[in-house]
Structure formats: C-alpha cells, structure tokens
Structure 1
Amino acid sequence: MMSLWLFLILGSIFMLCKGESGDCDNFSDLDLHECLIGTNLYVRLLLYTRANLECGQELPHHNFTQQPLFNITRPTTFVIHGYRPTGAPPIWINHIVHLLAAQEDLNILVVDWNRGAANLNYFTAVANTRGTAENITGFIQSMEAEGASLDSIHLIGVSLGAHVAGFIGSMLGGRVGRITGLDPAGPMFAGVPPEERLDPTDAQFVDVLHTDMNSFGLRGTHGHIDFYANGGLDQPGCPKTIFSGKSYFVCDHQRSVFLYLCALNRTCHLTAYPCSSYTDFLSGQCLQCEAFKPASCPVLGYDMSKWKDTLLRLGQTRVFFSTTAELPYRKTSYRVDLVTWNQFLRWGVIILRLHSGKNVIESRIDNKLLRFEQYTSTRILAQFDEDLYPIQKISLRIVTGNVIGPRYKIRLLRIRISPLENPDRSLMCRYDIIMEENAEVSFKPLPCS
C-alpha cells in the first residue's frame, strides 16, 4: 500500500512539473534540415514581463487584451532577431529579456520569425523582412486601437532585425518612440535608398551601434546617433583568420549584442565622443563634450534621455569609442596635453605608463607619428585596458626609431593628464623635464597650477 501511495505522489509531481513547463512558450528551435530546404514565414510574439521572466507566453495577434500579463498601458519593447542560418535560437534572448525587465516595468515582446529567417539562402531571409514588418505593424496598429501610445514603443533590432524595425517604423509613419539598431545588416542593404533600410525618419529617435561594417554590418550613418565601437570595424579579441572557424565570421557582428547587454547590465560605462572619424578620435582631436552639457558625452545604453533633445537638434551624430577584448569592455581614457621644445625636428610615437604601487598599466599611442619640433603643443588620447588609482608615478618615452647616431634631447615643458570618464579625479601635471628620445623618464605627478 505504501508503495502505491509513493507511486501516486511521484506521478502527481511529475505531471504537475510537466504541466508547468508545458505552459511556457519557447522560441522556435529548428534543425539544419529545415534550414536546408527553407522555411516559410511564420511570426510569433513571445511575451515576457517581470511576472513571467522564466516563462514566455505566446501572445495572439488578435484578442491579445485577454492575456492578463499584457498591460496595454505599460511601455512595450519589441526584440527582433536577425538571420538564423542554422535555425537555433539566439543565445542572447534570455539575457536581454532579463536586463530589459530590470530597466523598468515593461511588456517585452520577443519577435520570433525564425521560420523565415532560418534559411540557408540569405536572400530569402532578406525577402521575409518585409512580411515580418507588415505582421508586427498590424499588431502595433491593433495595440494603438486599444489605447497604447506609440511614444512608448521601443523596437530593438539585431542585424536583419534592425531593418525589420526600420520597416515597421516607416509603415507607422515614424511615430514609434524609438528604434535601436544593433549592427544593421549590410549585405543587400548597402547603397539602397533610405526607404529600403533603417533610417532616422523611421522613429522619433533612432540609435545605432556598429561593430562589423567591413563584413556583415552596414557602413554609414543611419540614426540620430550612430555609435562606432572601435571604429565600427574589427573588434578586439575576435579572430583575424578563417582558421578560427565560425567565430571568424560572426564574432565582430555579434559583439554589438554583447556590448549592448553589458551596457544594459551597467557593468560597462561606454562613453562615446562625437567625431568625424575613428582616426581623428584616436588622435585626440575629438574629446570635447561641450555640446551636451550639463550632461557628459553620450553613453551607450538604454536610457538616452540626457542626450536625446540635443541629438535631435544636432541632426545625425557620429560618436566613437574603444573597447577591450573582454568583459567589461571599458577602457580607461586620459587626455594628454604635451608642450615640448627641442632644437631638431623629431618624429615618433609615445609610450605612457601609469604606476600605482607595484601595478603598472601601459598605453602605446602609435596610431600615427607625432611631430616634435622647437615649441610644439601636442594633444593625444591615451587609453588603458585597466584602471589604476591613485596614480603615484608616470613614465614617458618618445620612441623615434633612431638607433644610429646621437640621442637627441627633448625638453618637456609641460605634461597635463586629464581623466576623461572620471571628472572627480584630479588633473595630473609635471613641468620642465629634460628627456632623451627612446629613453624612458619617470616622475611623480603634481597638482596642476
């Protein structure tokens, strides 16, 4: 008898657990065979809220107000994936759902158009972007008819999904509140008119992050603000040769998602600076944030309210930042102003080292040769993969490559080092130091007068 009761109890628990998992709707997981033969477009909406973060609920396109978890008065964010050549779900879906829910109380709708995006033929997936956009546009129009405000709708699109978001916004007359494009797809969208890709007119505010413009990403400027991580091209830590396999093809492109996730998680504070090119940014020519005062320069992330009005007034703005190869991706940046005097013209690069106790960090500023002659003022950007504080000693070397003949002396009349992302930290200065080319000189920083 005891065994019978035990069997019944265990059976009941099993059925209960099975029922609970069965109540959750998961993202479509297709096999490679389906991708090879091709999939027909079918769009699903998976609803997540703070009340069901671990258990998505498929939201019907009609009678959606009957779903008690869906609150039409809450802001709604759509997450739209891109091309899925293998049919597997994106690995970042759960992460972005949880991080978005942490920002504010939202309806989070994951747009599952895997049937349509999962095709070995990329051109078929591109053709399906319009149908996907029409489907979601119809749903948003139904939301609006039920009293939802388009101002509170945010579309986040990844790769091809960024253009889907753009098409939705365009079909709605640019009235949606915001579109975020994470490395919008480049193939089949390069050189096309604005109405055939993501464009600033597609929403009240459009922000775009570029990480792979020389391969799968789209070159150019396509939002009210365009963030270019490491110039929008090759990302640190990503493979440089085809022998690395799949990662060689997807790493740079996927980095846009991981940078955005890191920004949502507030573990990366990625400040970007308005500039005409990444080269000019690395040369220290674009480190001014006066246009955004009293705010800082724009920071990648969810909350753009500090900069939105200024960006809409400025028009399309390009902003640049550099990252490390790994989490938390943030570099520590300093603006370095040098005044040198030397009798003979010298060309070289600068190696700057900062010391705190036994710890040392180094920045090699070698993106271009610097000119030193007689009385020269030079501004450079020094970026470090780590942050040290307090700085107890500074080492400087001007490398000219001169290995034959005498070492020329260079007089450093002044060096001023300004922390860019930590304005509460003091400026560091030193005055009147005699140094030789290719030889390191070390000194203790002093308060700037």
Structure 2
Amino acid sequence: MLPHRLLGLLGLLVLCEGQDETRTEETCDNFTDLDLSHCFMGTSLYVRLLLYTRSNLECGREINHHHPSSQPLFDLHRPTAFVIHGYRPTGAPPIWINHVVHLLAQQEDMNIIVVDWNRGAANFNYFTAVSYTREAAHNLTGFIKTMQEEGASLSSIHLIGVSLGAHLAGFVGANLKGKIGRITGLDPAGPMFTSATPEDRLDPSDAMFVDVLHTDMNSFGLRGAHGHVDFYANGGADQPGCPKTIFAGKSYFVCDHQRSVFLFLCSLNQTCQLTGYPCSSYGRFLDGQCLQCEAFKPASCPVLGHNMSQWRDALVRLGQTKVFFSTTSSLPYRKLIYRVDMVTWNQYLRWGVVYIRLHSGRNSTEARIDHRHLRLEQYTSSRLLAQFDEDLQHIQKISMRISTGNIIGPRYKIRLLRIRFTPLEHPDRPLMCRFDLIMEENMEVAFRPLACDSGL
C-alpha cells in the first residue's frame, strides 16, 4: 500500500504550479517546466540531458544522445556527474537543481549533466512514473555506453539520484554490470520498492561504490540498508523542524523526504561537515555506544559528501555499513557533540533524564538526553552522548540537572565522583572534567570545568 502521505500529496491539486515551457535565453536549454494540465493528463517519457560546466554554470546545453562529443563544452576526459531527479507530481522543476549544479562545480572541474525526465515523472499517477524508470534507465545507459565508446571511463562517472531517481540510477548501474564509479542515493523511494528484490531497486552491486542517505524511511523513503554505506540522519525517519500534522500543507508531505537533498547540498559546502558514526541502531548511537572508528584509521568516521575517497576502500571491504548522525532543524544542520563519561556514587538507585548546559560568556546551549532514563546507582560508570544545537568554543561554565520526576518527598542526593566531557569532532579542543560533584535530583548545579588528568 502507498503511505498516507503520498495519497494525501496526490490530492493537493493546488500545489501544481507551473510556468510556460519557454527559454529564458535563446542559447540556453532549461529544465522542462510543466503545468497543471500535464499533471492531470499525465506525460509520456522524454529524457533530456542538460550539460553544465564551470564555463556555463548559468546556461545549460542539451546534449545529443547519440553524439555526445558534438557538444564542444563536453570534455569526455573529465569526471562526469549525472543528477537524476525523482517523482514530480506538480510538474515544476526541482527547486534545488541550480544549487546542486553550482556546488558540484566547486568540488572539481567536471561535467555536470542534469537528467531531465520531467516528461514521465510528472504524473498524478505515481505507478506510471515508477514504470518509466526502467525505460529512462535504458535511455541513459545507451548514452553512457556511447560516452565510453568515445573515450570516457565508467569509473569516472558518478550518478546522484533523488528518491525515484536513486532507483533509476541503480538500474543504469546494473545495466552496466556495476562498473559505474559511484552512485549516491538520496532517500531512495519507498512506495513500490519496499518488498523489491535487489535487482528491482538500488543495491551495492550497482556500482563500484554506493552511498545512501536516509531521511524519511517511515513514509516516502525506503527502509533498510542499500549501499556500501548508509547514512541515517536522525535515525533516518522524522527530521527536526518538519511539521507533524497535515495542517501544515505541502510541507507535511515533503519536508522529511526533501531533507535528504538539503543535507547533501549542505555537505557540499565546506563549512557543513556531517559525520556518521558506525552503529547497529540509532538507539545505540544515542546511548554513546558507537563512537569509535578504528576500522577507518588513519581516517576518522565517514563524513557525508562528495569526497569520500579516504573511506571508500574500507567501506567496500566491510560490505554494508550503517552510520548514524543527528542534525539541527536548519543550516548548517551540524550539532556540537560531546561524549560524557561519569561515575556515580549515590546511596539510592535513581532513574532520570539528564540536562547539560554549556556557557560561553552570555551565550549558552543545552543538550537534553531523554531518549531513555539513565540508571544512577552506587559506583557505576555511565556514558552519555550530549548533542548541542550551537557550537560554543570557549566553555567557561557547565550546568547540569538530573530530572527524576520525583515531586513529593525528600530530594535525594546524587554524587558524581568524576565526569569528563570529550569533544568528539574537535580534537584540538581540551577535555573538560569535574571531580566529586554533589547534586540534588531536579536541581540544577553549575560548575567551572577543570583540566583532566591524563590517567582519567
């Protein structure tokens, strides 16, 4: 069955806003822009390939499918990235196309080809769009084979597929016997693919390296692991800042799913580094049990983005690796992460939620560790993962509160023999410690962090 969000989206006819299919400049070829009538009547498949390079970032040039070298801007000896969109129920061009073209061009000198299959993807009937993915993949496969015949290397080709486009990319890779250099799947589509065999969806055998980002597994996205490495943002399902009710309109249906594109765009920007931690589940990651990356030494944990060369061999060797990370609700999405190790020595067993606040001058940021209740007992070591929305560098004060839910009776004391804060992604920053701290449950206590002994 289709998820309720997809069914609801197909009913939002007011969202279909298109423009006349015209060129803004005589020499430019623009992405196909369709209107409401196309959404109702459906469209037959027609694939266009729009080339962008550093020489023509603002002006796409359509490439002849059978004679790619006839386009003078197309250098077959450069790396080539294909950007493949997904289902387009409104018929309008994706809002992110220009952004991804510009950001990819910043990474290296490459050919960037936008695969425009809007005629085919623009249908209120999702099943029709799904059926066109095989035909579109056959079309694109033929073009890449022609590229190869004219001197291009399959290993230098990178397919970036969004939603339904991720499976389309997988079909192209399978047609070429997995010899494509890389496929990146951004929240591969779930409806109609949930029970599909590897041959009928994106899977690791489709390219020499396959990386996947999940953001909406409980609705439009596909559950499970489907690449050499699968990144799960906030567990791979509900994303922070996305609406939880249908009253938010279009955003309720598409926000979580589209977040995969925005996280990928952010990762292409050098100021936005999203590190994934290998783990069996998001819950174990939040428990602080999966913060080591020995398998990737001398490199650190895998970072989402275009350049994954330092992790690629290890990830292919390991097979299928799941990595998890958390984000904020808006740019730059990155959280400040500390590993918190503490030893308790309280007389009575207590269960509670931990709040930690960092202070730097007048600024402060708080982490609430509430995905489960922490067990606090006599002489017990505990490890927590504290994630903060703001990156404060010079920490002058730390305050903590342990909320046990006790509202009647005496407040029990909780004694922390030692507590250590380790900045996970900033090795240049000092470790912070505190020794023999007495707290009362449900009461905040503030302290200045101390330097840690090497033996702690």
TM over 0.5: yes
Q: Given the two structures, how large is their TM-score scaled by the length of structure 1?
A: 0.95
Q: Report the equivalent of 2:201.
A: 197
Amino acid aligned to 2:180 = V
Counterpart residue identity of residue 336, structure 1:
V
Cα distance between partner residues in 2 of 1:433 and 1:63: 73
1:376 to 376, 380, 404: 380
**Once the two structures are superposed, what CA deviation does each residue of 1:87-143 show, in whole Å capped at 9, x if it has no partner?**
101010000001111100111110000000001100000000000000000000011
Instruction: Give matches, 1:33-72, under 5 Å.
Output: 33-72=37-76
Aligned to 2:280: 276
Percent identical among aligned pairs is 75
Matches within 5 A, 1:268-347: 268-347=272-351
Counterpart of 1:162 in structure 2: which amino acid? A
* Matched residue, 1:210: 214
Larger displacement relative to structure 2 (102-111 or 259-268): 259-268
Distance 2:108 2:251 in 1: 34
Please say if 1:115 is aligned against 2:133. no
Cα 1:69–1:20, aligned 2, differ >3 Å: closer, same or farther?
farther
Match of 1:442 in 2: 446
Structure 2: runs of 5+ lacking an equivalent: 1-21
Q: Deviations over 1:188-213 (max 9, x none)?
A: 00011000000000000000000000
RMSD: 1.1
1:131 equivalent to 2:126? Answer: no
**Aligned equivalent of 1:13:** none
Partner SS for 1:98: helix
Contact map agreement 2:122 2:129 (CA 8 A) in 1: yes
Matched, 1:26 2:57: no
Q: Secondary structure at the residue paired with 1:91? A: coil
Matches of 1:321 and 1:292 in 2, distance apart?
A: 17
Structure 1 stretch displaced more, 253-262 or 286-295: 286-295
- Radius of gyration: which is bigger? 1
Secondary structure of 1:60 counterpart: coil
Structure 1 counterpart of 2:259, from 255, 267, 292: 255
- Residue 399 of structure 1 is matched in structure 2 by 403
Which of 98, 101, 110 pairs up with 2:102? 98
- Preserved CA contact (<8 Å) 2:68 2:146: no
CA shift at 1:46, angstroms? 0.3
- Provide the rounded CA distance (Å) in 1 between the counterparts of 2:50 and 2:24: 17
SS of the residue 2:349 aligns to: strand
Residues 91 and 168 (structure 1), Cα distance of their counterparts in 2 relative to 1, 3 Å cut: same
**Unaligned 5+ residue runs, structure 1?**
1-17
Superposition misfits of 4+ residues, deviation over 3 angstroms: none
Deviation at 1:214, TM superposition (A): 0.4
Larger deviation, residues 275-284 vs 154-163: 275-284
Distance in 1 (CA, whole Å) between partners of 2:208 and 2:123 is: 33
Letter in 1 for 2:420: R
Change (3 A) 1:323 1:167: same
Tell me, what secondary structure is at the counterpart of 1:163?
helix
**Residue 357 of structure 1: CA displacement?**
1.2
Partners of 1:226 and 1:286 in 2: CA distance: 15
Greater alpha carbon shift after TM alignment, 388-397 vs 219-228: 388-397
How many residues get paired? 432
Letter in 1 for 2:199: E
Q: Which residue of 2 aligns with 1:245?
A: 249
How far residue 19 of structure 1 moved from its aligned partner, in angstroms, is 10
Aligned partner letter, 2:27:
D
Does the 8 Å contact 2:23/2:30 carry over to 1? no
After superposing the two structures, state which structure 1 stretch, 265-274 or 186-195, moved more.
265-274
Provide the TM-score with structure 2 as the length reference. 0.94
Secondary structure, aligned partner of 1:125: helix
CA distance in 2, matches of 1:65, 1:347: 68
Q: Counterpart of 1:375 in structure 2: which amino acid?
A: Y
The alpha carbon displacement at 1:267 in A equals: 2.8
Q: Which residue of 1 aligns with 2:161?
A: 157
Please say if 1:411 is aligned against 2:406: no
